[in-house]
């Protein structure tokens, strides 16, 4: 296909604003047609697909770190982004430039003809065009929503990972664990390995694997990890790595993510020395995952936004007590079932600094205040995320901590316009 010059009078931001960012079109038939027209249906690259409720971005980052250690050229597609759309499309760790994305959009516009595509489908197709142009060795794709009907599932992966399953996106995926797990299981393929990266697989994951003939590999049953505060050990088949230094990224759950990534890499033929694995772990990092932005007072940023990720955050805060107070800079999207998990934070947050997100999906400030009033003892409301953060910081002493969380949108609105001095 001829590469078209992008409209230089239109910026990438303008072009993205033309797309419907809030409509979610589940279903693959339209996308498959455009994929064939773009000649993206029969790529020779190795493909790794990462689905699940939480931990997808961290697992993708772990895979990329391992590919770098093995000197492989790779493309990674992730979502959502924190600050710029370009973050969603990376080649060897470098974000795609505006011109490359606009050129890909032009090709997509010509190929789709009368077919309507969603914002996410445009992003996915643009990523695939850019990966093909760079002739990468491996493509790593993060599932956007669910799995069975997600755009990324038009590709047949050589190995898939399902990180975790929990209640989220119930209006599209179902209202119970087994229904949601069934949707996420849809990324499995016959005879291909699928890694389940949590300790207890829902029955629908197990049943789906048996039905399609996928090779299900489960944490605790097939690959194992053990750890203490400083080191951890991994074992799968004849592969054993003992006394690995823990990653910089905080949280025991990150050990499950990196171990799932390693198992997937082993399944598609990669061999690692102890030194290579340790190097990949040492280089593994990702913004917004219990990220320390400053100290005295400590400021942490985390994208936790549903019951499972909030539970992990609470457990980490309880396991890492401080002498002072903990203040939360917080907002949330409408569909995150705030009532079901806000109470979990009662004993770890002393004062809430809240605001309404700019996103159309953001919970209205009055509703947010009403929900908080039922669950917390002290909160203050502000016009913007930056105002909320500045007030929390002014209120804090060196022995206190501030944690910014609630969604990717919260981190974007607070961090992009704040003068936080990162350490």
Residue 44 has pLDDT above 60, yes or no: yes
pLDDT for the residue 27: 73
Confidence of residue 145 (pLDDT cuts 50, 70, 90): confident
- Average pLDDT over every residue of 176-201: 95
Residue 172 has pLDDT above 80, yes or no: no
- Average pLDDT over every residue of 172-177: 73
The string of pLDDT tens digits covering residues 135-144 is: 999 999 999 9
- Average pLDDT over every residue of 81-110: 96
- Average pLDDT over every residue of 337-344: 93
The pLDDT > 90 percentage for the chain reads 85
Residue 307 has pLDDT above 70, yes or no: yes
Biggest CA pair distance of the chain: 62
The string of pLDDT tens digits covering residues 349-365 is: 999 999 999 988 899 99
- Average pLDDT over every residue of 319-329: 97
Residue 4 has pLDDT above 60, yes or no: no
pLDDT for the residue 378: 97
Lowest mean pLDDT among 69-78, 168-177, 279-288, 397-406: 168-177
Reported residue count of the chain is 423
Q: How many CA atoms lie within 13 A of 3 on its CB side?
A: 11
Residue 299 has pLDDT above 80, yes or no: yes
pLDDT for the residue 383: 97
Spell out the domain ranges in the chain.
12-282, 291-415
Instruction: List Cβ neighbours of 346 (8 Å cut-off, separation of 6 or more).
Output: 375, 376, 377
Nearest to 395 by CA among 380, 414, 417, 405: 380
pLDDT for the residue 10: 79
The string of pLDDT tens digits covering residues 372-394 is: 999 999 999 999 999 999 999 99
CA distance 103 to 109: 10
- Average pLDDT over every residue of 247-253: 94
Residue 217 has pLDDT above 50, yes or no: yes
pLDDT for the residue 147: 83
- Average pLDDT over every residue of 231-244: 97
Nearest to 57 by CA among 367, 302, 246: 302
Q: Topology of domain 12-282, per CATH?
A: 3.40.1190
Nearest to 257 by CA among 279, 234, 291, 273: 234
- Average pLDDT over every residue of 32-53: 96
Paired tokens of 212? 């399609």
CA distance 296 to 403: 13
pLDDT for the residue 6: 47
- Average pLDDT over every residue of 121-137: 97
Lowest mean pLDDT among 21-35, 312-326, 351-365: 21-35
Confidence of residue 311 (pLDDT cuts 50, 70, 90): very high
Paired tokens of 150? 């997600």
pLDDT for the residue 282: 97
Residue 422 has pLDDT above 80, yes or no: no
Residue 2 has pLDDT above 80, yes or no: no
Q: How far is CA 401 from CA 85, 290, 360, in A?
A: 30, 12, 30
CATH number of 291-415: 3.90.190.20
The pLDDT > 70 percentage for the chain reads 93
Residue 423 has pLDDT above 50, yes or no: no
> Phi first, then psi: what are they for 330, rounded to 5°?
-150, 145
Confidence of residue 3 (pLDDT cuts 50, 70, 90): very low
């Amino acid at each position: 296909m001829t590469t078209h010059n992008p409209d230089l009078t239109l910026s990438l931001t303008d072009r993205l604003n033309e797309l419907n960012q809030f409509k979610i079109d589940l279903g693959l038939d339209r996308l498959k047609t455009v994929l064939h027209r773009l000649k993206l249906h029969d790529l020779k690259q190795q493909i790794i697909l990462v689905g699940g409720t939480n931990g997808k971005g961290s697992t993708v980052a772990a895979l990329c770190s391992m590919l770098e250690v093995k000197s492989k050229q790779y493309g990674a597609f992730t979502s959502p982004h924190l600050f710029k759309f370009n973050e969603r499309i990376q080649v060897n760790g470098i974000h795609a430039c505006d011109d490359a994305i606009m050129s890909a959009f032009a090709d997509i516009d010509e190929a789709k003809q009368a077919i309507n595509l969603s914002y996410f489908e445009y992003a996915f197709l643009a990523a695939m065009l850019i990966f093909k142009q760079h002739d990468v060795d491996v493509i790593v794709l993060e599932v956007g929503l669910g799995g069975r009907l997600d755009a990324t599932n038009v590709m047949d992966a050589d190995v898939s990972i399902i990180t975790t399953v929990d209640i989220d996106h119930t209006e599209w995926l179902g209202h119970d664990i087994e229904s949601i797990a069934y949707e996420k299981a849809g990324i499995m393929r016959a005879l291909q390995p699928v890694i389940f990266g949590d300790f207890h697989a829902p029955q629908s994951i197990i049943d789906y694997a048996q039905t399609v003939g996928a090779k299900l590999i489960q944490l605790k049953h097939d690959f194992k990890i053990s750890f203490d505060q400083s080191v951890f050990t991994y074992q799968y088949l004849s592969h054993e790595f003992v006394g690995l230094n823990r990653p910089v990224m905080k949280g025991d759950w990150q050990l499950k993510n990196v171990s799932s990534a390693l198992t997937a890499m082993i399944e598609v033929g990669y061999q690692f020395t102890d030194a290579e694995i340790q190097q990949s772990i040492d280089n593994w990092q990702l913004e917004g995952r219990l990220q320390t932005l400053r100290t005295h007072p400590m400021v942490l940023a985390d994208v936790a936004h549903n019951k499972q990720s909030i539970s992990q955050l609470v457990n980490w805060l309880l396991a890492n007590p401080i002498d002072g107070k903990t203040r939360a800079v917080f907002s949330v999207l409408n569909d995150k079932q705030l009532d079901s998990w806000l109470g979990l934070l009662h004993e770890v947050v002393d004062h809430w600094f809240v605001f309404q997100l700019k996103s159309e999906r953001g919970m209205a400030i009055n509703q947010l205040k009403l929900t908080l009033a039922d669950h917390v003892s002290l909160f203050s409301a502000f016009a913007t995320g930056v105002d909320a953060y500045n007030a929390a910081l002014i209120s804090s002493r060196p022995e206190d901590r501030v944690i910014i969380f609630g969604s990717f949108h919260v981190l974007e609105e607070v961090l992009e316009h704040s003068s936080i001095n990162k350490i």
